[in-house]
Structure 1
């Protein structure tokens, strides 16, 4: 069945006053065709968005809910086609703004949010029965595509405005809470219940593990917000604060490499990283670790982890605890004393495999195997300076 006719442009009489024009009639017919196919077109557009834009799946978006939203936008777009208009109505604009704000809270980047509308529109027009369109109707269809693109630009502008407004509002809330948390941690006298309340509002587990990051970085008014937005797209939670010329970040269940990359993109040339520690008290200690690592860096560019510079950090601040560094190694030394003996003897014999093997009455290959086994179990390489120092210390503490 064809849509329209093959007879070319109509030669009928001009419509009288108050009577719909031929273009208006064709637009209304096209809108009716689209409405008949609404569910099918919405399903196809939803599938295209989920397939081409992973962030919509990664944020836990329910497919049925997304399909319903796509259907609502399509219905509004069909109304615009029927009325041959490119401007959005006040109701359409408000709906788009609310939608943009909701997507911002879910952590969907503005670029992908914008792209999703064009992916959906493309899927809609691909799903249209073009081969059935004939004559005047085909001309109307092409014109409708042009107007729908202009209408969509207005929708996307409203969505972007809502997204931006939500980001600023969310960032202000998070920034205030982050500053409050930082004050509590640095002061050390805040009641535990108050600290837990702030952590709960930041969606952080007060009993979980925390890791702190500190970087000298001036506050330009946008860096912290952009960093927070970037890390929202990653698993885990982060609190970001600018204070006294430093960017302070407290992460939970976020991949370290993701934080490092985000800080690098934000322009942080020197970063101090604390140990991953348990609970609110651990968050306070990790923050002290990160500051200690930054001091030990002595303005040298790069990422300076407390785990790598703890000896120098302790020399500057003996009160800074390094106990978590030794937990796994101490447990290994107690459980497998022959490995502890291998570490101790290797360190005490000038880092010589041959000399240490003779002292232990072992073949050199056996000693090498034990040191490698120690590395596998503890993550500490005795051929590395800090790895050996940490290993030797842990063996004595076991």
Structure 2
């Protein structure tokens, strides 16, 4: 049915409809509070989004009043003012993060309270049969209005999405340009619904996924606790996170996407911390040398610093670097020995070799590089060479 072209002729018995409408409008304040209570009790998103109750009361009262007027007038289509208000309301709730289906359901919850009140008010009347057509017309009015609310919600979502895209681009630019003041970084974070003074952690990987896959990553991250934004830049993908409960869950989502190795920064605070964490993540990714998995700056920061230092420190490691490149089995022995707490037995099990084999490889490494992995300095230098090799 095209609600915009529905018959607009008044009801056959406008006096009865007008009488009931007047009764309802006289009790409008109580009706609106009752309807708002039921909306919050029955639709979780109207509580979980922390919507101000006064705002909900005001909108419920406005639309109940408009619907009751439609009942008294026996009409189905909304007035221009009602249509404009419905679209604005839909856009507002979209900005609040309330799903469209919940917004439209709230109208039926609210007007169900009205129909129940009508039942009580008409208990002593003998013209209920005459009022039924008017009530049916009012339900069509509700359908008409909710269609306008849905249109406004779609428009609001589109505007909010575009605003987030613009804010995301600005954030990506600000992260790469130290000349951008922290105040602008603060504003960009705020527009993406972050607390600019809160704690952040950033993850980075080389850009390989298409836009559709990145949207899927964003959606999966949003399924759990925390706030996230995925920034898609020409050279890399950056994930900004706040209020997450488990970095392991975030990193599992990133690895499941198959987009390649991930660098994870430290948890840092405020706009300056966002810049610090992305630098951490980039250094960790670089130190990971393209190996699969998540490379956490917290775990490999010494090697990340060595890699970041460039040619100034690499000459100190030249012989060990060359040995690691030419003898990957020796490099793996060094890595596993370090990662398993200097335990030959545990490292051998990880490599699926005999303990004597691992001991031989460590001795051979010492022979070729002059670095004894059984000493702190020798192991640290050897591990740095392995990570850079």
* Superposition TM-score, scaled by structure 1 size: 0.61
- Listed as ranges, the matches of 1:28-177 within 5 Å are 28-130=18-120, 132-133=122-123, 137-177=127-167
1:208–1:132: structure 2 CA closer, same or farther, 3 Å change rule?
A: closer
CA distance in 1 between counterparts of 2:265 and 2:30 reads: 53
In structure 2, what is the Cα distance between the partners aligned to 1:224 and 1:348? 41
Per the normalisation by structure 2, the TM-score is 0.62
Separation in 2, partners of 1:72, 1:284: 47
Instruction: State the Cα RMSD in Å.
Output: 4.4
Question: Gaps spanning 5+ residues in structure 1: where?
Answer: 1-19, 321-343, 353-391, 394-398
- 2:321 corresponds in structure 1 to none
Instruction: Give the 3-state SS of the residue equivalent to 1:61 in structure 2.
Output: coil
SS at match of 2:202: strand
Residues 309 and 101 (structure 1 numbering): CA distance in 2 closer, same or farther, change over 3 Å? Answer: same
- 1:262–1:79: structure 2 CA closer, same or farther, 3 Å change rule? farther
What's 1:327 paired with?
none
2:271 is equivalent to residue 280 of structure 1: yes
Secondary structure at the aligned position of 1:60 is classed as coil
- Counterpart secondary structure, 2:161: helix
Task: Write the mapping of 1:347-386 to structure 2, written as runs, cut at 5 A.
Answer: 347-348=341-342, 350=344
Distance 1:168-1:258 versus aligned 2 partners, 3 A rule: farther
- Deviations, residues 139-166 of structure 1 (Å, cap 9, x unaligned): 2443334222221122112212222222
| Rounded Cα–Cα distance in structure 2 between residues aligned with 1:136 and 1:308 | 79
Partner of 1:86, secondary structure, is: coil
Partner residue in 2 for 1:379: none
How many angstroms does 1:90 deviate by? 0.6
Cα 1:351–1:143 shift into 2, 3 Å: farther
The more displaced of 275-284 and 286-295 is: 286-295
How many aligned positions are there?
304
Distance 1:105 1:64 in 2: 17
3-state secondary structure, aligned to 2:118: coil
Q: Which runs of 5 or more structure 2 residues have no equivalent in the other structure?
A: 1-9, 310-337, 347-378, 381-389
> What's the CA shift string for 1:188-208, capped at 9, x where partnerless?
443444434433554545443
Correspondence for 2:211:
219
What CA distance in whole angstroms lies between the structure 2 residues aligned with 1:154 and 1:297? Answer: 60
